[in-house]
Amino acid sequence: MKYGDADHDDDVEDGLVFPPIPPAALPSRLPRVVYDKHGIKLWHLQDRKFHRPVADLRIKIDCDDVSDSALKQGCLELFCRLCAGMY
């Protein structure tokens, strides 16, 4: 793996010097928020190699009454496991 200057690659791998700081990403290479309402946030980034979209969906779940009953706790646990199994 090259870190810039070929003369100092061995020094970087040996931990003698730090690798150079990479330049900041262009705004076009940063993900952008497509949807942000009601606790749902959807980010989008277009893949440059295969031209396919890369998306990340985050859902915030607020359950104030979940500790009221075992049924609500079980339903929330089942919902979380189903969402985690989607990947």
pLDDT tens-digit series, residues 55-70:
777 777 777 888 888 9
Q: Of 42, 26, 23, whose CA–CA distance to 34 is shortest? A: 42
Give the pairing of strands 53-59 and 32-37.
Answer: unpaired
The answer to whether residues 84 and 76 touch, using CB atoms and an 8 Å cutoff, is no
3-state secondary structure of 29: helix
pLDDT tens-digit series, residues 4-45:
555 555 665 666 666 677 777 777 778 888 888 887 788 888
Record the tokens describing residue 5, joined without a space: 């200057």
The answer to whether residues 41 and 58 touch, using CB atoms and an 8 Å cutoff, is yes
Instruction: Please state, in angstroms and rounded to a whole number, the distance separating the CA atoms of residues 47 and 18.
Output: 30
Q: What is the pLDDT of residue 5?
A: 52
